[in-house]
């Protein structure tokens, strides 16, 4: 199997992400043109390019503090630290991410920071629920986000989206202030520009959601490349989907989960992600990635959790 075929899905995902980000920037620049003329379009485009070249400072401390995350010492989970170190080596990260545990029974893991200074946070519920193989796949997914610098990409997309909303709001306020002139004078209104002011925030938000979904697909592919085990991630996704919510909710509200339109999701549908991973496993490409990755990750052993589970308190947090 050729190397070109192996890398085709990755580059296709990256190209789609670049196109989506450029589309968001174009809407931002068009709003500047609408409000202040062509010169502001080039100023905003220049600001966007500067953000791409310089990079956005991403502070992870306040995010970890928001979730009450605490550092996970190596003495409490040596196997987990060894797993993260091995995944970081395979992902060619310049520095091993710091490990944090979030005192919550929610099933979640997330990454904050940049490639050189990152932190991976795992909830206590996820550590106690997923078997080692599935936990490895989930961590590989987060490492893939780090490898591709997805946090920076999504932070930039969020900045563009927020600025688009702000410019649109300014334009609509100016339109409202000049409404008497529009009604009682012969002032010509560029209705195409008005339509852009109204639709730009919604279009920008949809593009941001599409970008997020595309980065998730690429992270799934990257996780399969790091572990050589797409079935492990597929199993983890199915497991997490099944465990969302509690038994009482399933009994009392069996039809509560009304599927959202795909355009309004920040993550792709689980069924589609699993389908792609299983197709990848069936194609035999993952076997080549496993050979290139090195020793199987399950050789590192399982996770031993020695601390007591989180307890509930009145404020609703776990500790």
Q: Cα–chain-centroid distance for residue 115?
A: 15
Burial degree of 295 (CB within 10 A; 0-12, 13-18, 19+): exposed
Helix (H) or strand (E) holding 49: helix 38-54
- Is residue 79 flagged as an active site residue? no
Alpha-helical regions (H) of 188-309: 191-227, 230-243, 247-252, 270-283, 285-293
Please give the Cα distance from 306 to 77 (Å, whole number). Answer: 9
Q: What Rg do the C-alpha atoms of the chain give, in angstroms? A: 23
The C-alpha atoms of residue 13 and residue 236 are separated, in whole angstroms, by 22
Q: Say which of 86, 134, 142, 216 is annotated catalytic.
A: 142
Cβ atoms 282, 58 nearer than 8 A = no
Please give the structure tokens belonging to residue 279. Answer: 């197709």
Residues that are catalytic: 142
């Amino acid at each position: 199997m050729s190397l070109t075929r192996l890398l085709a899905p990755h580059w296709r995902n990256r190209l789609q992400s670049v196109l989506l980000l450029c589309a968001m920037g174009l809407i931002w620049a068009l709003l500047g043109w609408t409000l202040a003329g062509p010169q502001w379009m080039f100023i905003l485009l220049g600001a966007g390019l500067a953000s791409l070249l310089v990079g956005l400072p991403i502070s992870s401390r306040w995010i970890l503090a928001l979730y009450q995350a605490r550092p996970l010492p190596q003495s409490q989970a040596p196997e987990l630290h060894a797993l993260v170190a091995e995944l970081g080596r395979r992902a060619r990260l310049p520095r091993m991410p710091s490990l944090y545990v979030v005192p919550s029974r929610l099933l979640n893991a997330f990454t904050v920071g940049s490639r050189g200074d990152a932190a991976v946070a795992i909830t206590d519920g996820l550590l106690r629920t997923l078997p080692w193989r599935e936990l490895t796949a989930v961590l590989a997914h987060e490492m893939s986000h780090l490898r591709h610098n997805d946090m920076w990409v999504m932070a930039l997309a969020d900045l563009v989206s927020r600025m688009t909303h702000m410019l649109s709001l300014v334009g609509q306020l100016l339109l409202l202030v000049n409404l008497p002139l529009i009604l009682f004078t012969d002032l010509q209104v560029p209705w195409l520009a008005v339509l852009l002011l109204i639709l730009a925030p919604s279009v920008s938000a949809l593009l941001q959601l599409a970008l997020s979904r595309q980065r998730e697909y690429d992270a799934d592919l990257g996780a399969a490349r790091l572990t050589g085990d797409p079935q492990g991630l597929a199993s983890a996704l199915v497991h997490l989907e099944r465990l969302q919510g509690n038994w009482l909710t399933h009994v009392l509200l069996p039809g509560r989960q009304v599927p959202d339109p795909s355009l309004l999701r920040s993550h792709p549908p689980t069924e589609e992600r699993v389908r792609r991973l299983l197709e990848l496993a069936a194609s035999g490409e993952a076997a080549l990635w496993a050979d290139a990755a090195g020793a199987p990750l399950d050789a590192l052993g399982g996770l031993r959790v020695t601390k007591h589970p989180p307890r509930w308190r009145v404020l609703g947090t776990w500790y």
